[in-house]
Amino acid sequence: MEDYYKLNSPAQLPHALDHFDDLIKKLEGKTPVLFFDYDGTLTPIVDNPDEAILSDVGKQVLERLSRELTVAVVSGRGLSDLKGKVGLASLIYAGSHGFEITGPDGLEMELEEGQQILPQLDEAEKVLLEKLREVNGCSVERKKYAIAVHYRKVDEGQVGQVKKIVAEVVERHDMLKIGEGKMILELKPAIDWHKGEALKWLLEKLELRSEAYQHVFFGDDITDEDALKVVHRNGIGILVGVHGQQTYANYRLEHTQDVYAFLEKLWGWYAGRGND
């Protein structure tokens, strides 16, 4: 089983643009199904999450791809925030790490177990806002099924204090757990549900598990590893940048600009294949 799921060093992964021809061989005779994280993947990481706006070029690329292929954005952002940021009706959206999903043709899902935990999230939010209000640069962002504590702008000497406060709050709420990302801590439902489970749910619901499809996931953060693990062996996982740990990805890209350069090449290959 260890060989089935092999962790890789990001620095040793083949670059998806440099090895595009080899990567494409995995897609021959199959229809790509594309899954994307949002922050750090479709948009660069910024200090203020509200300023992570999808560019017009990005929208055009995703809209064009979604005319022919299944395209989904799977993010830790709340569903309404995610849909508002992307603004394309043709895409599937999985918000709050997949606790809430919506898409074309009446696709809707909200994980019932997560709804039972909302009162604890409400209580934890109040405590965090009170205890962290004096920490300069720290912000508490409430999503429906998670609370994100951003410390990117916090003085290095106070980061330990932020982490201690978050840990203490979680200890008092048995239905919550801590998730970590790039300069962010998240309080989430202590349920075995994450981006990987959301990915599997979508593949089953949309009948995309057959060998006629090739699943491709793009992500940049630790929370994307659950989804990268799902596509690790039979699909294609692409890590954008690094997150300081080993990865289940098969290929790498350096940054958001690389993602769109790759998608342009992918579209060229796919459109050209249709004319063969």
Would you please indicate which residues are annotated as catalytic (active-site) residues? 37
Q: How many CB atoms lie within 10 A of CB 215?
A: 22
Can you list the positions of beta strands (E) in the chain?
31-36, 70-74, 92-95, 100-103, 107-110, 139-143, 146-150, 176-181, 184-189, 213-219, 236-240, 251-253
d(CA 202, CA 92): 9
Instruction: Give me the amino acid identity at 147.
Output: I
- DSSP of 233-262, one letter per residue? TTSEEEEES--SS-B--SEEESSHHHHHHH
Q: How many CB atoms lie within 10 A of CB 133?
A: 10
Helix (H) or strand (E) holding 137: none
Q: By the 8 A CB rule, do 113 and 122 touch?
A: no
Q: By the 8 A CB rule, do 80 and 102 touch?
A: no
Q: First-to-last CA distance in the chain? A: 40
d(CA 255, CA 260): 9
